[in-house]
Structure 1
């Protein structure tokens, strides 16, 4: 089929080339002083097409990558009114990938699919394996696996806002692909905006969606207490959903292997920045399955994000580093 908007696509490609180059400069200048080889990583970009649709993406390969040696992969999903490059700048994930040694890819939502560039998580077709946007994101993930030597046990997904909702969906629909997920200002599976359905029911639905691939998926949650877009109570709903899903995924029985009641609650503060409450949920076997960071006074923002972005909150805990610490502790078994 002829391209319905060739001029738009050429313009988009030029914009992406320019913004990716800008991202490279800012990421490297934002990184701490490091040996010369730390600047020799490389950015890439491309377009993925399947029966479900077409999406652009860009990513970063750190200088420590060696073909044949497996390296972890992070899939990072932007929020509404953002794009992949903006999310990279906001989170600093390419610079972090260089410092800590992992591959990262940023799928980009098309304005043709959503004018505000939101991932279309409310649509039922985007809540199931093999359909819609989850299949596209999984397809981009598997494309990275075909092009680079990826550690299959250390593939992770993270996202903010609409991307945070999608990261939860990816953990539910592809538990055999993603070892663990993180969500910033996101929502539980089959997000109930009116909060009329219990998190336990959402957890049961998520477990059923996993089907024969069901496994307990560790989840990290960030939420601001002054968020006017996502009710702060949503963090507890995400934790409740995953507690039920992981409980059932362990042995198929709703028997309290993981609960919505945290086993540890502690207070913390960023030096010169925000205070927060950190909650940890462990399985009866002692494994950390869910962590929450509830950040006092934070709005609909990315904690620790760059002040160069409207959605950055440098005074919050460093969500990017905390997420990678969490991911490293949770390879897929």
Structure 2
């Protein structure tokens, strides 16, 4: 009887350990130096957890840029950080990374409800993300004049929605495999938009307002994306360029080593790049150049994380040169 009891206890302990493993793994910081800080943002739409990566050895007088990273469906803050490896770049280039996290009670698949504008849920979630940004800016040494936002899939669409509502708060926005704002307004219309069957409404902006306060856009999209049609990447850049009065230049083919080739097209107005389209022909629905053996990550693609930071850093330098005030 004693042996049976011991075996039952061991089996129960193993079962409990297996049940707790996802929670334990989720709490572990992704591989990198620096701090992995937990936080919660609260507002009228509820609450959302977030994680903040802070590089090591931040000096007292130092003010660092902030990159906001919005995960896609089926991901959370940790898995997105691990697959993109953005924290490694942040440690080297010295910036902070904020990872807001969607609540599974708000969306069972962990998707941001970027499309649900009719009910107002999309705007409520956008407001919570802004609360997280404000909280991080208040508690940590963030340079408010150097904030950028990037996202994958549903996170890309939410990133664009954030910028349409608060363009003056961001210096760059990057959409990776997402759908442009003004393309869907409900869950049903979002399905049509994912397959490239819906048109995109023009942005509520003019060339003058775009030049004054809207950040440039970079779009990265795979040519064989089976989830979000590549048409959406082209539509996102076009609607941004149309609002800015920008025209496309010639596409240039780029390939680094054995990674997938990409075609890069800049849309410019009076010499300034307002939007950039990066088309990766052999990429599916995955973070380009992401870590191996992670869902929604393709290590063979060009390194999207490096492209995201390089694009944002150019806008930060331009902001410093123009002497724009903190917002």
Aligned to 2:187: none
Shift in Å, 1:19: 2.5
Shift in Å, 1:20: 3.8
Aligned to 1:282: 268
Cα-to-partner distance string for 1:241-290 (whole Å, 9 max, x where unaligned)? 11123x2xxxxxxxx3x13xx21310011311211111111112x11111
Does residue 28 of structure 2 align to residue 21 of structure 1?
A: yes
Pairing partner for 2:283 from 288, 298, 316: 298
Query: Matched residue of 1:236: which SS?
Result: helix
Query: Residues 196 and 315 (structure 1 numbering): CA distance in 2 closer, same or farther, change over 3 Å?
Result: closer
Report the TM-score, using the length of structure 1 for normalisation: 0.80
Pairing partner for 1:143 from 135, 147, 153: 135
Q: Matched residue pairs, number?
A: 287
Counting only pairs closer than 5 Å after superposition, residues 68-107 of structure 1 correspond to structure 2 as 68-107=61-100
Query: Residues 20 and 99 (structure 1 numbering): CA distance in 2 closer, same or farther, change over 3 Å?
Result: farther
Query: Matched residue of 1:121: which SS?
Result: coil
Cα-to-partner distance string for 1:22-75 (whole Å, 9 max, x where unaligned)? 51xxx23xxxxxxxxxx3x21101222111111111121101422332110011
Q: 1:13 and 1:49 mapped to 2: Cα distance?
A: 27
Aligned residues: CA RMSD: 2.4
Shift in Å, 1:18: 3.8
Larger Rg: 2
Report the TM-score, using the length of structure 2 for normalisation: 0.82
Aligned to 1:9: none
Contact 1:189 1:241 in 2 (8 A): no
Does residue 211 of structure 2 align to residue 226 of structure 1?
A: no
Cα-to-partner distance string for 1:118-163 (whole Å, 9 max, x where unaligned)? 0001111255xxx401100011001110011211111010000000
Counting only pairs closer than 5 Å after superposition, residues 179-328 of structure 1 correspond to structure 2 as 179-192=171-184, 193=193, 198-199=199-200, 202-205=201-204, 207=205, 215-245=213-243, 247=244, 256=245, 258-259=246-247, 262-284=248-270, 286-328=271-313
Query: Residues 47 and 16 (structure 1 numbering): CA distance in 2 closer, same or farther, change over 3 Å?
Result: farther
Aligned to 1:8: none
Q: 1:212 and 1:281 mapped to 2: Cα distance?
A: 13
